[in-house]
Amino acid sequence: MMEKQQVLQKITDRQAVVGILGLGYVGLPLMLRYAEVGFPVLGFDVDSKKIDAINAKKSYIHHIPTSVMAQLPDNAATLDFSRVKEADILVICVPTPLDKHRDPDLSYVVNTMESMAPHLRKGQLISLESTTYPGTTEEEIVSRVVARGFEVGKDIFVAYSPEREDPANENFNTKTIPKVCGGHTENCLQVAKAFYEQGIDQVVPVSSTRAAEMTKLLENIHRAVNIGLVNEMKIVADRMDIDIHEVISAAATKPFGFTAYYPGPGLGGHCIPIDPFYLTWKAKEYGLHTRFIELAGQINRNMPQFVIEKISLGLNQMGKAINGSRILILGMSYKKNVDDTRESPSLEITHMLNQLSAKVYYSDPYFPTFDTEKFGIHLESNKTVELTKENIASYDMVVLLTDHKDYNYPEIFEYASLIVDSRGKFPRHPKVIKA
């Protein structure tokens, strides 16, 4: 086991070159973490803008300050995948979205492996972190390694360790979030565990890559199903003229058996709206239909329409139609305090308002300008609206979709003509419509 001992020694001595493939919300924090603890790091991406920013020591993610980029070595990122051979550790952190049929799209993983494969060498660890269905590591990573003539567990080591990043979470970070890890063989697990223990406080080993893949899906499906439940409860409570946020706060005082989940305008981000479909798709291969999961997904996907109905109701009470009304959207990102629009319900709601001929504006401190062409939506201005008293009062309606901490909620409440509140930030009042 010469290769295993050599890579373990390099890891222990922190001389192993850590290659990160995919430098987004997962890859960049991981790269920074291993640079922080003294490993030589090398980042790979197909986006030249990210490469240029890293090599200029500038952050392109809002919650990561540029000041921490200084710990990266010079020329720490590259477009050249032939340099994969320089890395001892290869961590794949690329997107795993859905295609237009809402089936898993593994093209980023496959393309990354195809780019890496000619440059693999003995003694490397390949760890996939992208969220995916059970069996992906075996089918897409191991198979390609074997096809190059390597013996997995002896020549090259393969593991799956799902990312658990939560951007802008002030309580947890890459270092402190426990890391689940499964290896294709016992040797693979030992090497991967040794690597992750150098940068993460707690590593949680599991018996296989498939168990690790399923762990990640369970975590996110658990959230998706419970959010679906509370979204359905919100609709019932709304019909009964009960404030669901008051109910959740009261229920959360129970010290056991209840976990608070909060409703919203729909699910966003790369994980929660997407991951359940990875399992439902794979389950069909085994003749199973995940009805409970699919029902929760259906409820969550219907929430933007519920918000539109509330917008229409509110304007109608003022004797106005959506057509031609000036509507200010608060928040374009999928969650508060981040500059991330992946799967954001704000985009879908804006698109729906476009179809109804509303005049839509936005205010979001994390997006001074907004690329409407990229997202296929129309805004009356691609610049964020400054929330002055005069500006707030000038709109027919303000719609809160993302509850950033930067907003002055009392001032918005005082000066807005009408508010649709999908996040429970405003008090019950005749001019506030809960959505």
Alpha-carbon distance of 192 to 189, in angstroms, equals 5
Token pair recorded at residue 227: 């959010």
CA dihedral 166, 167, 171, 174 (to 10 degrees): 70
Q: 315: Cβ–Cβ under 8 A, 6 or more apart, which residues? A: 321, 322, 325, 396, 397, 418
- Residue after which a domain boundary falls, among 207, 230, 254: 207
- Asked whether residue 33 is domain-assigned, the answer is yes
Alpha-carbon distance of 335 to 267, in angstroms, equals 9
The total of structural domains in the chain comes to 3
Give per-residue pLDDT as tens, 291-314.
Answer: 999 999 999 999 999 999 999 999
SS3 9: helix
The answer on 138 and 117 residing in a single domain is: yes
Q: What is the mean pLDDT of residues 161-177?
A: 89
Rg of the chain (C-alpha set): 24
In the chain, % of residues over pLDDT 70:
100
Residue ranges of E strands in 306-431: 326-330, 359-363, 397-400, 419-421
- Asked whether residue 313 is domain-assigned, the answer is yes
What is the model's pLDDT at position 268?
A: 83
What amino acid positions are annotated as catalytic residues? 271
Alpha-carbon distance of 344 to 354, in angstroms, equals 16
Burial of 242 (0-12, 13-18, 19+ CB in 10 A): middle
Packed helices 2-12 and 186-197: angle between N→C axes, nearest 10 degrees:
10
Compute the half-sphere exposure of residue 365: CA atoms within 13 Å on the CB side of its CA: 13
Quickly tell me which residue has 């493939």 as its tokens: 21
- Residue after which a domain boundary falls, among 300, 328, 354: 300
Entry pTM: 0.91
Residue 20: phi and psi, rounded to 5, are -110, 120
- Asked whether residue 75 is domain-assigned, the answer is yes
Report whether 178 contacts 203 (CB < 8 A). yes
Q: Cα dihedral sign for 107, 110, 112, 118?
A: negative
Q: What is the mean pLDDT of residues 357-364?
A: 98
Average model confidence (pLDDT) across the chain: 95
What is the model's pLDDT at position 229?
A: 96
The answer on 393 and 248 residing in a single domain is: no
- Asked whether residue 212 is domain-assigned, the answer is no
The answer on 143 and 43 residing in a single domain is: yes
Q: What is the domain range of residue 149?
A: 2-207
Give per-residue pLDDT as tens, 388-432.
Answer: 999 999 999 999 999 999 999 999 999 999 999 999 999 999 999
Looking at residue 92, which CATH number applies to its domain?
Answer: 3.40.50.720
Q: Does residue 226 carry a pLDDT above 80? A: yes
Alpha-carbon distance of 259 to 276, in angstroms, equals 20
pLDDT band at 1 (very low <50, low <70, confident <90, very high): low
